[in-house]
């Protein structure tokens, strides 16, 4: 999956190759979970962002961006 992040300062970033994301304390973390629809102890953390810096997280269908 691909997610588009919009930050409070207006910039955008794309995170690809991840399956899920969830809030972990003050961070929003993206995981690669081998195609599973949930995060578990085998999931690999790919990227983390401070949640207060994000205004939106949107899943993007491949080729839609």
SS3 state of residue 41: coil
Q: Which residue has the tokens 């953390």?
A: 45
Please return the burial class of 15, using the count of CB atoms within 10 Å of its CB with bins 0-12, 13-18 and 19+. middle
pLDDT in tens, the chain (65 residues): 899 999 999 999 999 999 999 999 999 999 999 888 889 999 999 999 999 999 999 999 876 55
pTM, rounded to two decimals: 0.87
Please give the distance of CA 56 from its chain centroid, rounded to a whole number.
10
Cα(63)–Cα(2) distance, integer angstroms: 10
């Amino acid at each position: 999956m691909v997610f588009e992040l919009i930050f409070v300062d207006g910039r955008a970033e794309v995170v690809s190759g991840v399956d899920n994301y969830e809030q972990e304390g003050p961070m929003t973390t993206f995981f690669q979970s081998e195609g599973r629809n949930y995060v578990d102890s085998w999931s690999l953390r790919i990227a983390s962002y401070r949640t207060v810096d994000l205004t939106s997280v949107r899943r993007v269908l491949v080729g839609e961006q």
